[in-house]
């Protein structure tokens, strides 16, 4: 009886998935036995009717499915391929942002590329460009800008703390070797008049008097050269305001470079494909822009542009690290080591991959593999098993893009 009740509970909570996956299998004999265009169309109509009536998936999701089913069945072409490709890729990109997979990717790369400014900037640019290859440039920029600002703030705060600690240690060492008089100081035009709290004795002292943050006077009667200057700055001081500007520019430029590296990276690339399909699809000089041949053309250019952009930003804002003969301040090196430990800690706090992240990552790689292997230009890909020119990159984008909308949010087998 317990087994039966468990089965009933499973059906109650998973009936939507059962309808979504069992209905196509139950109706499958129709197009297999009656192998005609009308039978395939009837199969799709019956399937969508079951989905609409049962509400196994949202109405909006069901209304998108014909964009995938009809070209796959060889019934109608995708006339608005540009729009379909854009919508499908943006749906998967939104799913990636929703599960925060981009944050995990960014922290993972930044935690292993190194803690120096030049390598952290390189890692940040690489992650931004990679994200921009698949999602909107503005979305990739808005995702990575907080990470860029956090890196600079962490470096700056830790270096300030290190310098303050160093000054405090020097003062403590000085107190142990010199006479310390707790005084209330009044500054006049020609000398400093100091009144001791305990005896109210007025002492006249010269320039070899240093006032620390606790309003204590260190009276050095022996060695003027041993005075500690609290306001001293390192000779190779880092301008973090300029460095923050460099990081923000790096994010913006790398997003633009990554966007031009793939067909779906940015809108103009897709419009170029539409223009080529409209004007150069027939004739002796006909050609087709597919995901694969566009990637082979644009990706090497994007990588070269990204490297040149990184080198240029280093020369402008971070030449101290780029040029090996310039010595870097010890406090800066300590801040960079601290940054790496902070990034690793934040990445470890994310824990292991969740079910949602696994699903989105798997779907992402499947979509890329299907895009790349659909057509090799000179050699046919897997699309040869379907009707010619019906299954396109847009068909793949819609199919993969709709899957996160009805797949379970948690592991259904747990």
Are 89 and 158 members of one domain? no
Provide the domain count of the chain: 3
Are 34 and 165 members of one domain? no
Whether residue 187 is contained in a domain is answered as: no
Whether residue 71 is contained in a domain is answered as: no
Domain end residue (candidates: 353, 382, 400): 353
Whether residue 91 is contained in a domain is answered as: yes
Whether residue 134 is contained in a domain is answered as: yes
Whether residue 372 is contained in a domain is answered as: yes
Are 7 and 33 members of one domain? yes
Are 49 and 108 members of one domain? no
Are 290 and 401 members of one domain? no
Strand ranges inside 253-300, DSSP E: none
Which residues fall within 8 angstroms of residue 340, CB to CB, at 6 or more apart? Answer: 111, 114, 115
Are 396 and 385 members of one domain? yes
The pLDDT value recorded for residue 216 is: 40
CA–CA dist 79, 277 (Å, integer): 11
Are 274 and 168 members of one domain? yes
Are 83 and 21 members of one domain? no
Are 89 and 112 members of one domain? no
Write out the chain's pLDDT in tens, 414 residues: 566 666 666 666 678 888 888 999 999 999 889 888 899 999 999 999 999 998 888 888 899 899 889 988 888 887 667 788 888 888 888 888 788 887 787 778 777 776 677 888 898 899 899 988 887 787 788 778 877 887 777 777 766 666 566 666 666 666 666 554 444 444 444 444 444 444 444 334 334 333 333 334 434 433 443 444 444 444 445 677 888 899 999 999 999 999 999 888 888 888 888 888 888 777 777 777 888 888 889 999 999 999 999 999 988 888 776 666 556 556 666 666 666 777 777 778 888 888 888 999 899 889 888 888 887 766 778 888 888 878 888 888 899 989 988 888 887 766
Phi, psi of 181 (to 5 degrees): -120, 115
Are 33 and 129 members of one domain? no
Given a contact cutoff of 8 angstroms between Cβ atoms, the answer to whether 193 and 216 are in contact is no
CA–CA dist 266, 262 (Å, integer): 8
Q: Which residues form the domain of 374?
A: 78-98+354-414
Whether residue 138 is contained in a domain is answered as: yes
CA–CA dist 75, 85 (Å, integer): 19
* Exposure letters 258-285 (e unless 16+ CB within 10 A, then b): bbbbbbbbbeebbeebeeebeeeeeeee
Whether residue 257 is contained in a domain is answered as: yes
Domain end residue (candidates: 323, 338, 353): 353
Are 151 and 274 members of one domain? yes
Whether residue 196 is contained in a domain is answered as: no
The angle at the Cα of 193, spanning 187 to 196, to the nearest 5 degrees, equals 125
CA–CA dist 109, 412 (Å, integer): 31
């Amino acid at each position: 009886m317990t087994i039966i009740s468990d089965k009933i509970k499973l059906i109650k909570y998973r009936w939507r998935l059962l309808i979504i996956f069992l209905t196509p299998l139950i109706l499958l004999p129709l197009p297999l036995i009656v192998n005609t265009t009308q039978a395939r169309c009837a199969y799709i109509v019956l399937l969508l009717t079951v989905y609409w009536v049962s509400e196994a998936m949202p109405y909006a999701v069901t209304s998108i499915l014909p964009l995938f089913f009809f070209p796959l069945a060889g019934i109608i072409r995708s006339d608005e391929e540009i729009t379909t490709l854009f919508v499908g890729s943006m749906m998967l990109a939104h799913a990636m942002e929703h599960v925060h997979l981009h944050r995990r990717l960014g922290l993972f790369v930044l935690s292993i590329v190194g803690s120096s400014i030049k390598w952290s900037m390189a890692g940040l640019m690489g992650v931004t460009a990679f994200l921009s290859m698949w999602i909107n440039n503005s979305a990739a920029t808005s995702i990575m800008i907080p990470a860029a600002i956090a890196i600079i703030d962490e470096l700056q705060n830790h270096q300030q703390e290190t310098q303050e600690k160093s000054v405090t240690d020097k003062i403590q060492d000085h107190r142990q070797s010199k006479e310390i008089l707790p005084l209330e100081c009044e500054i006049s035009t020609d000398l400093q008049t100091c009144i001791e709290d305990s005896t109210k004795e007025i002492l006249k002292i010269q320039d070899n008097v240093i006032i620390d943050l606790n309003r204590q006077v260190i009276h050095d009667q022996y060695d003027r050269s041993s005075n500690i200057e609290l306001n001293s700055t390192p000779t190779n001081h880092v301008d973090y305001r300029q460095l923050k500007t460099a990081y923000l520019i790096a994010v913006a430029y790398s997003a633009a470079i990554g966007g031009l590296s793939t067909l779906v990276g940015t809108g103009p690339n897709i419009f170029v494909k539409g223009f080529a399909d409209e004007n150069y699809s027939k004739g002796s000089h006909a050609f087709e822009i597919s995901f694969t041949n566009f990637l082979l053309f644009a990706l090497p250019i994007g990588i070269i542009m990204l490297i040149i952009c990184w080198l240029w930003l280093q020369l402008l804002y971070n030449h101290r690290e780029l040029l090996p003969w310039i010595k870097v301040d010890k406090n800066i090196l300590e801040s960079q080591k601290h940054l790496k430990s902070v990034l690793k800690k934040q990445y470890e706090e994310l824990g292991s991959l969740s079910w949602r992240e696994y699903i989105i990552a798997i779907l992402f790689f499947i979509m890329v593999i299907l895009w790349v292997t659909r057509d090799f230009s000179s050699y046919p890909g897997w699309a040869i098993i379907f009707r010619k020119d019906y299954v396109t990159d847009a068909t793949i984008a819609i199919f993969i893009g709709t899957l996160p909308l009805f797949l379970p949010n948690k592991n259904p087998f747990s």
